[in-house]
Amino acid sequence: MQNILERYILPIAMVIGITFYKQLYLFSPFLPILISLMLFITYSRISWKDIQLTKFHYILLSIQYIGSAIVYLILRPINETLAQAVMICILASTATSAPVIAGILGGNIATVAGYSMISNVTLSVVAPIFLSWIGNTGTSINLIDSFWHILLKVTPVLILPFVLVLILRRITPKFIKIIRSAQNVSFYLWAISLTIVFGQVTQFVITHHNDSLILEVSIAITSLITCLLQFYFGRKIGRKFDRTIAGGQGLGQKNTVLAIWLTQTYLNPIATLGPGTYVLWQNLVNSWQIWRKKHKDKIEQQIAETKIESEVN
């Protein structure tokens, strides 16, 4: 059953999300809880040695934080909403499902899982700074008050799962082992979250259908370009550290559920189309990577079998 869902979850989530967007939009308040649960399950399978910061991590974090700020400043004179949409696609932390995809592609699961934790935990501090600054552009709201407001809302979602894992590892390690062995639960939580997200995006598109079509198309196109560039540079950077797949998934595969929640809550709702379409692009990239990997493995297996047959004959 899960194999079928893994193969068709994207179109299933899209169809359900678009069809029942009015009903699913009512479940939006539950997204932070789903995000926390997914992070809790992901953190449960990470050891301390997996989260030691290295040069590889610093480079990816620099692109995530410094790169997103630079891109925002470049695009802001063109269009504020477009700048926000692209910025959040770069600022967003690594997806909790990234280690799973990395494993399928033959990459180092621990490295991606470790970076996912680092990315999400550091975002709890960086996101309030970015969002309070950008969200207050052109307003008279006190920047410091806005920062603390966002910090108090974002930190529990990203940090609480990490703290709970640390506490439970000392109090009841057996429970953590059970959670670690139940990784399928994380997939189903992600599937539910993805469906709600598509419902949210559909709701916003319909609600703001009178807004500029050119802007919406521009956001979708720049989201695609941003996605492809992050996968490309992630793999290129990872190759220098013998972590090609980890680099690509760590930088390119984003926690779009979290990104959409942050955008809807603190930025221009139209900017939601950025991470909203990024969901589609990154899943298409992952599908292509998985197909290429399986196709390559099949060819290598055929070559090996042919070689064995020729040696026998």
Q: What domains can be seen in the chain, in order of their start residue? A: 28-185+211-282 (1.20.1530.20)
Instruction: Name residue 254's beta-bridge partners.
Output: 94
Distance CA 83, CA 69 (A): 10
Q: Give the pLDDT of residue 115.
A: 86
Q: Give the list of residues 6+ apart from residue 198 with CB closer than 8 angstroms, or none.
A: 13, 14, 16, 17, 18, 21, 24, 276, 279
Q: Give the pLDDT of residue 199.
A: 83
Q: How far is CA 132 from CA 55, 141, 263, 313, in A?
A: 29, 9, 12, 72
Q: Give the pLDDT of residue 235.
A: 95
Q: Give the pLDDT of residue 96.
A: 75
Alpha helices in the chain (DSSP H): 2-19, 21-25, 31-43, 55-62, 68-75, 80-91, 98-104, 109-135, 143-171, 173-180, 184-207, 213-240, 244-252, 256-266, 273-312
Q: Burial-class residue 302 by CB neighbours within 10 Å (0-12, 13-18, 19+).
A: exposed
Cα distance between the two ends of the chain: 42
Q: Give the pLDDT of residue 262.
A: 85
User: What stretches in the chain show pLDDT beneath 70?
Assistant: 1-8, 10, 47-51, 135-146, 149-150, 183, 208-211, 304-305, 307-313
Q: Give the pLDDT of residue 136.
A: 57
Q: Please name the amino acid found at residue 32.
A: P
What per-residue string of b and e applies to 35-53 under the rule 16 or more CB within 10 Å gives b? bbbbbbbbbbbbeeebbee
Distance CA 313, CA 308 (A): 9
pTM of the predicted model as reported, rounded to 2 decimal places = 0.79
Distance CA 42, CA 165 (A): 10
Q: Give the pLDDT of residue 240.
A: 93
Distance CA 206, CA 230 (A): 29
